[in-house]
Chain A
Amino acid sequence: MAQVKERQNTAFYVLIAVLVVMAIGPVLLMFVNSFKLDVDITSGATGLIFLPTIQNYETALCDVLPYEIDHLDYCSMKFGGAFINSLIISLISTALTLIIGCMAAYALVRFRFMGRDTVSLSTLMVRMVPPAVLLVPVFGLWNNEFCLDRDGVIGGWIRDTMGGRGDVCLAGTHSGIILIYVAMNLPFVIWILQSFIVQIPRSLEEAARVDGAGPFQVFFKVVLPLIKPGLAAAAIFTFRVAWNEYLLASALSDRDTKTVPILIVNNMSEFNVEWGVIMATGMLLAIPPIIFTLFASRQIITGMTAGAVKG
């Protein structure tokens, strides 16, 4: 298809420019404001004439910075710790979802014990469940049912080594939040990977099997390398959900396992919003997704269109 680039008129380019400004304007605004002092943000002096400062970022990250910060006598934002929590939770849940989802997708395609219809229907079903609907049961279950008795062997051991009172429950731990994220993301991942695995010719696997590879070897050495693009798309979507999610994390986390979105919401609901600091935190939360967007937009678009067009 050697099509000639059509010549477009000026109005067309103006439209595109307007769209681009609208799409990234708010993000740029936040970026610029995160380098301003609150005085500069509220003073009404418009625009770009200000002295950029990283003071907001220092305030936000005060609990992990190695040096003393002059403008601050007390470190109230525990953003550094929350950042680490967010990273732990999203990275582990992404890795787990990919491994488990990959295996399930492979089994569903190759051994066909469920029709494709059943899988895509259940994917859709799960996609429709709002996190708000899961809030009540997850709160109840993670606090009361998914517990180890403190008198039991493992529960007793955890209480002895980690301290604390009562039964050992999933709520308030990283693993509790990770579990629900894995469950939420699995159907989508299975479904995306399935569409990639279907395209691998069977003969390729049979050849490997003839050469003496077991089912696990076939999976890891033949199938996995071939579905890398699918894995990339699935990884980005899973990471994004886990990284951005607020509601369930806020119900399940305790003081030590708070993630970044929770911190932002808590600081926003205070009466006097410190705009500079909050924008710096927002910027830090937005950086990983922005990086993904800039470097892997093709995979993102693949994942997005696959989700709807073949729905």
Chain B
Amino acid sequence: MSRSLANRATPYLFIAPAAVIMALALLYPLLYMMWGSFRDWDPTQTIGEAEFVGFKNYLTLFADPNFHESFAVTLKFAISVVTIEMVLGVGLALLLDRNLRGMSVLRTLFILPMMIAPVVVGLMWRYMYHPTVGTFNRALDSLGLPTVDWLGQHALLSVIVADIWQWTPFIFILSLAALQSLPRSAIEAARIDGATAWQQIVYIKLPLMMPVLIVTCLLRLIDAFKVLEVILVMTEGGPGLSTEILALRISRTATEFRELGVAAAMSNILLMMLLALTVAMFAFGRIQEARAARVRAAIEQEAG
């Protein structure tokens, strides 16, 4: 009797700690944040003491040119970063998809930038961009070229370059994995029919890789909206607002301007945006699977 009760309770026992922690430290805070976004809230108050102001925080944000600027910077950063990384990453994967000795060493070296703390990545790049002691300006100087004020005049571009350095390998490794799991027969057949390397890529490899590529692209896009530390260390959002992405603005609104309500409203907007992206990605995955299942069923029918 007690044995069977124990057996029946086991699944719940196993899952309870995870459920409790997620509810307490993830779900509850998110709801708390949404609730707080309707309040005029500063860090000295508890949320109960803060006054309920309805949609005032959101209206403030929509009228705030700084928020618009920050929103635009975020979009510019995310879109350019993901586009360039996709092109470079997939391109490199197509180029390096050969039987190469030492490929695993190469892959190991390529994942290094991703594993290192964003804070350290920011630190390295801030040093390299330094106007006088930095590597880039030293190189320009020794070639007799005029130096460039990287983080002053081209701040957004510099930040984008740093992100590309860190995350192109991610796309490279995923596309390489996708490439190497493609059915050899399709590529073989194309080669026998006399397709050039370029034709193989455009008509066979890329279409077959498409599902993985789209998922990778969306994952990267979501991550690009989360970048904060690299930019914080490199430019602190400046000069002006030129590199102040939304995540950075949220943290500054909360800690420097001490307006938790507005920061919460901003967090909520960012969250909703990412939620839409995630749902789109999930829906896409399901559609792909359904289509694959239909194709499989059709093939089986023909065969039968």
Contacts and interface: CB of A to CB of B under 8 A. Distances in A.
Contact of B117 (A4, A182, A279, A289): A289
Given A104-B15, A136-B260, A307 B138 contact: no
A268 B47 CA distance: 33
A192 interface: no
A265 B233 contact: yes
B270 interface: yes
B100 A8 contact: yes
A244 B166 CA distance: 14
A53 interface: no
Contact of B267 (A135, A261, A282): A135
B135 A29 contact: yes
B32 A297 contact: no
Given A101-B18, A301-B173, A6 B99 contact: yes
Contacts of A120: 282
Contact of A23 (B110, B117, B216): B110
A183 B22 contact: yes
Contacts of B17: 100, 103-104
Contacts of A19: 92, 106, 110
Contacts of B222: 127-128
B217 to A, nearest CB: 10
A14 interface: no
B264 interface: yes
Contacts of A33: 127
A104, A133, A279 pick with most chain B CB within 10 angstroms: A133
A128 B220 CA distance: 10
Given A126-B26, A128-B222, A278-B123, A139 B282 contact: no
B254 interface: yes
Contacts of B232: 246, 265
Contacts of B124: 26-27, 29-30, 282
A44 B125 CA distance: 18
Interface stretch (B3-11, B189-197, B199-207): B3-11
Interface string B25-39: 110111011001000
Interface stretch (A65-73, A107-115, A150-158, A224-232): A107-115
Given A187-B22, A304-B174, A307-B219, A113 B11 contact: yes
A117 B94 CA distance: 32
Contacts of B11: 107, 110-111, 113
Given A128-B222, A179-B21, A293-B108, A137 B120 contact: no
Interface residues of A, number: 97
A83 interface: no
Interface string B232-270: 110010000000001110110011000010011001101
Contacts of A290: 112, 115-116
B229 interface: yes
A135 B254 contact: yes
A244 to B, nearest CB: 4
A311 B28 CA distance: 26
A293 B115 contact: yes
Contacts of B75: none
Interface stretch (B58-66, B147-155, B273-281): B273-281
Nearest to B184: A1
B1 interface: no
Nearest to B273: A128
- Top-10 shortest CB links A-B: A183-B25, A132-B247, A107-B14, A244-B117, A104-B18, A137-B29, A111-B11, A137-B33, A289-B115, A297-B108
12 contacts: A5-B99, A26-B113, A103-B15, A103-B17, A103-B18, A107-B14, A124-B278, A132-B251, A135-B263, A180-B25, A293-B111, A308-B212
Interface of A: 3-6, 8, 15-16, 19-20, 22-24, 26-27, 29-30, 33, 41-42, 44, 46, 100-101, 103-104, 106-108, 110-111, 113, 120-121, 124-141, 144-145, 179-180, 182-184, 186-187, 190, 214-216, 219, 240, 243-244, 246-247, 251, 261, 264-265, 268-269, 275, 278-279, 282, 285-286, 289-290, 292-294, 297-298, 300-301, 304-305, 307-309, 311
Given A128-B277, A279-B127, 12 more contacts: A16-B106, A23-B110, A30-B127, A100-B21, A107-B11, A130-B274, A144-B47, A216-B10, A265-B233, A282-B123, A308-B174, A311-B285
